[in-house]
Amino acid sequence: MFNPLDHKGIPLDDQIRNWRELNVEPIDPEAVDPYTRCRIIAMNGIEAEAIMFSHQFARNCGDDDVKRQLAYTRYLESQQQRVVNWLLPGQASVLETTLGYEQVAVDLTAWVARHEPEPYLRQAYEFGVLEDFDHLYRYANLYEMVERRKAEKIVDGLTEVMPGRPTVQEHRHPFDEVRTPYDKDLVDPRSKLHALTILAAEQQVMVYYMNVGPQYMEPIARQLYQEISLIEQEHVTHYESLVDPGESWWERLLTHEYTECWLYWSFMEQESDPRVKAIWELHLQMELAHLQSAADLFRRHEGREPEEIVGGSGLPEPLTFEPNKEYLRHLLATQMDLNKLGEGYVREAHERFEWMQQQLHAGEQPPSEQVIEQHRERFGDEYRIETEGPHPVESLRAKEGGRSA
């Protein structure tokens, strides 16, 4: 396998881009491979995490030389983020990008769950993915109400649109969101990459929703963004708590750069749009140099070899955007009614959960329920895309006249 530690990449001094290079041509607003959009959204989340992580590191670092080095690489990460996110076309609406975000959350998390070697961590992804799956369905109904368009235009039959674990049930006491971390010294290096990838993606979703929500005038849109952004914040708590807090800053920097290499390399392999592929290729070459500098810092400050952290055998199997319909249906059929208590998973509605539900809902229907009800009132049905047959959970099948694309 490709081992990024063996490559030098583009020298850091050659990485600053000018305005012309930053001004990338966006992807086509209509004729686009939905998974190209997903790769862009996922990489944007990773780059945003690279930037925010580096800021946090700098605030906790007393060495001015290191701070300058971090500032320089952070500037490069910033330019990468601008290039990646600016690939999204201006004609896309906020809600269309939102549908893309949830499609990412669904198919990225499902892939990671399928490839996670550690059962305890896999359970965490399987649990979370059913919640974003439900968000996709709620937003798809909002989309048709507000923009009169169909989510099919965005997800294009690759991802089904139907209820997951109902969003109303996702609001639980924050205590119960905190998981047990993996042990950095025992865990498979793949698990570190998985956790960081999903954490970065969910964090980006949270930040996006909490900022774009108030741009809507339609009350139901404003309220739905408020509700789902609160869940996304809980998802960040859920996933970030999987990461061992004992990892040093140097170690974390190394894992960040290594994860970026893994993802650009993965996406480069599978990208269908040649122009976007060229960007993944270029960014991989840049990340290789970031990784070298992180590895040097790690060696210098910890007196250890980077292979001890990320493994010596090169990158794992490429992360792939692909349909996960059967897997998701299996999860729906088996884990729909799962809840969390303490650091574990339970099936019964426990006291702390009920307490939280009461505080928040206060006897009213949350926006995620209202949006479906309003859609049924206006269109006579709800919006779903069930390509593989009726919903695996009988109680969640469309009542009357559910259109299936």
Torsion angle, alpha carbons of 273, 275, 280, 286, to 10: 170
Question: Is residue 165 part of the contact set for Fe ion (CB under 5 A)?
Answer: no
Instruction: Give the chain's length.
Output: 405
Q: Measure the CA–CA gap between 353 and 356, rounded to whole angstroms.
A: 5
- String of DSSP letters for 87-139: TS-TTS-HHHHHHHHHHHHHHHHHHHHHH-SSHHHHHHHHHHHHHHHHHHHHH
376 makes contact, choosing from another protein, Fe ion, none, with CB < 5 to 8 Å by partner type, with none
Alpha helices in 148-248 (DSSP H): 152-155, 189-212, 219-240
Stretch that binds Fe ion, among 25-33, 175-183, 255-263, 317-325 (CB under 5 A): 255-263
**CB nearer to Fe ion: pick between 61 and 390:** 61
Give whichever of 241 and 404 is closer to another protein, judged by the CB atom. 404
Q: Do 130 and 345 meet the contact criterion of CB atoms below 8 Å apart?
A: no
Q: How far apart are CA 385 and CA 133, in angstroms?
A: 12
* Nearest distance from C-beta of residue 387 to another protein, angstroms: 19
Q: Which of 235, 391 has the CB closer to Fe ion?
A: 235
What does 96 bind: another protein, Fe ion, none (CB cut-off 5 to 8 Å by kind)? Answer: none
What's the min distance (Å) between Cβ of 363 and Fe ion?
25
> Residue type at 261?
C
Largest CA distance in the chain: 66
d(CA 113, CA 86): 29
Does 290 help bind Fe ion (rule: CB under 5 A)?
yes
Residues forming contacts to another protein in the complex (CB under 8 A) are 29-31, 90-91, 93, 147-150, 153, 217, 377-380
CA 111 centroid distance within chain: 12
Residue of 42, 80, 144, 127 whose CA lies nearest to 383: 144
Span near Fe ion by CB under 5 A; candidates 32-40, 250-258, 264-272, 321-329: 250-258
Supply the minimum distance, in Å, between the C-beta of residue 86 and another protein. Answer: 17
217 binds, among another protein, Fe ion, none (CB under 5 to 8 A by kind): another protein
Residue of 144, 157, 36, 48 lying closest to 88 (CA atoms):
36
Q: Give the residue, chosen from 77, 118, 240, 386, that forms a contact with Fe ion under the rule CB under 5 A.
A: 77
Q: Is the CB of 78 or the CB of 374 nearer to Fe ion?
A: 78
Residue type for position 81: Q
Residue 91 interacting partner from Fe ion, another protein, none (CB closer than 5 to 8 Å by kind): another protein
Cβ closest to another protein, residue 30 vs residue 65: 30
* Residues in 166-205 at the binding interface with Fe ion, rule: CB under 5 A: 202
304 binds, among another protein, Fe ion, none (CB under 5 to 8 A by kind): none
Residue 235 contact among another protein, Fe ion, none, beta carbon within 5 to 8 Å by kind? Fe ion
Among 74, 135, 192, 376, binds Fe ion (CB under 5 A): 135
Q: In angstroms, what is the minimal distance from the CB of 205 to Fe ion?
A: 5
Least Å from the CB of residue 263 to another protein:
30
The least CB distance from residue 218 to another protein, in Å, is 9
135, interface contact from Fe ion, another protein, none, CB < 5-8 Å by kind:
Fe ion
C-beta of 68 vs 354, nearer to Fe ion: 68
CA 67 – CA 44 distance, rounded (Å): 24
Pick between residue 95 and residue 261 the one whose CB is nearest to another protein: 95
Cross-strand pairs, 404: 384
77 binds, among another protein, Fe ion, none (CB under 5 to 8 A by kind): Fe ion
**Minimum Å distance from CB 222 to another protein?**
13
Q: Closest separation between CB of residue 383 and another protein, Å?
A: 13
108 near Fe ion (CB under 5 A): no
The helix, strand and coil proportions of the chain, stated in percent and rounded to the nearest 5, come to 65, 5, 30
Four-residue CA torsion sign, 129, 402, 385, 27: negative
| 141-151 residues labelled b (16+ CB within 10 A) or e (exposed) | bbbbbbeeebb
